[in-house]
């Protein structure tokens, strides 16, 4: 387990925990979400850190990862989501035509970012549409449970889906840097130590 894999994993946990937060409360950490959405568009970033715009943008994900690995404050709904997204990434890799549709959709959304700004409702709407027309058609489906009142609001559902698209970006990245699901069991302690070290560094840098 190396730092690149831990960062990609933190990105995945962060996006899933934001989706869960939105489903429960109708709001989430906007700074963390901005970093996740930005990662969708950084296709040719030179490094894993560059995909997220810095380690400090992953503090929420690193905290989630540490809690998960140490089993201190595990959120099983987030964990289930992470595992499902990992499996979904495997399904997607076997569907080149869907991958192409996804890439084209991201390029189209990128043009909207240039026009309206990344945090606009137009961009989150476009990303949500893209998620619904590509990843939602695959199995297993990512199930997000939460407060029914929140999940009936179209704007909340759009932001949940935008985060799930960001989660897929991190799952693809995790595999690209050699991440595999079994490593979470075998290298649990090592992964936790690396995540703690990165979190400490990111917190100090951010002061």
Higher pLDDT, 205 or 75: 75
Mean pLDDT of 165-169: 97
Local confidence band at 92 (pLDDT 50, 70, 90 cut-offs): very high
Provide the pLDDT for residue 206. Answer: 60
Mean pLDDT of 67-76: 80
* Greatest extent of the chain over all pairs of C-alpha atoms, in Å: 46
Tell me the DSSP string of 5-50.
Answer: HHHHHHHHHHHHHHHHHHHHHS---HHHHHHHHHHHH-TT-SSHHH
- Residue 72 pLDDT > 80, yes or no? no
Q: Yes or no: say if 142 and 125 are a contact pair by the CB < 8 Å rule.
A: no
- The answer to whether the bond into 15 is cis (omega within 30° of 0) is no
Tens of pLDDT along 186-199? 899 999 999 999 99
Residue 30's alpha-carbon distances to 26, 34, 35, in angstroms, are 12, 6, 9
Tens of pLDDT along 23-34? 999 999 999 999
Provide the pLDDT for residue 9. Answer: 96
Average pLDDT in the chain: 92
- Residue 185 pLDDT > 70, yes or no? yes
- Residue 131 pLDDT > 90, yes or no? yes
Mean pLDDT of 54-83: 90
Local confidence band at 1 (pLDDT 50, 70, 90 cut-offs): confident
Residue 143 is classified by DSSP as P
- Residue 205 pLDDT > 70, yes or no? no
Mean pLDDT of 94-103: 94
Residue 165, classed as helix, strand or coil, is helix
Domains along the chain? Answer: 3-206 (1.10.3890.10)
- Half-sphere exposure of 121 toward its Cβ, with a 13 Å CA cutoff? 4
pTM, rounded to two decimals = 0.95
């Amino acid at each position: 387990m190396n730092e690149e894999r831990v960062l990609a994993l933190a990105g995945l946990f962060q996006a899933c925990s934001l989706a869960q937060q939105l489903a429960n409360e109708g709001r989430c950490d906007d700074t963390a979400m901005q970093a996740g959405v930005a990662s969708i568009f950084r296709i040719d970033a030179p490094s894993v850190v560059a995909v997220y715009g810095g380690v400090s943008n992953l503090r929420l994900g690193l905290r989630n990862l540490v809690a998960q690995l140490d089993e201190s404050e595990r959120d099983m709904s987030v964990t289930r989501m992470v595992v499902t997204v990992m499996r979904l990434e495997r399904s997607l890799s076997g569907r080149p035509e869907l991958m192409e549709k996804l890439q084209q959709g991201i390029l189209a959304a990128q043009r909207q970012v240039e026009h309206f700004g990344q945090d606009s409702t137009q961009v989150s709407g476009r990303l949500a549409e893209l998620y619904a027309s590509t990843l939602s058609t695959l199995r297993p489906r990512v199930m997000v449970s939460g407060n029914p009142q929140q999940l009936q609001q179209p704007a909340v559902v759009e932001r949940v889906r935008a985060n799930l698209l960001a989660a897929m970006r991190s799952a693809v990245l995790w595999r690209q840097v050699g991440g595999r699901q079994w490593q979470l069991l075998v290298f649990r302690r090592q992964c936790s130590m690396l995540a703690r070290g990165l979190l400490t560094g990111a917190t100090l840098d951010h002061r």
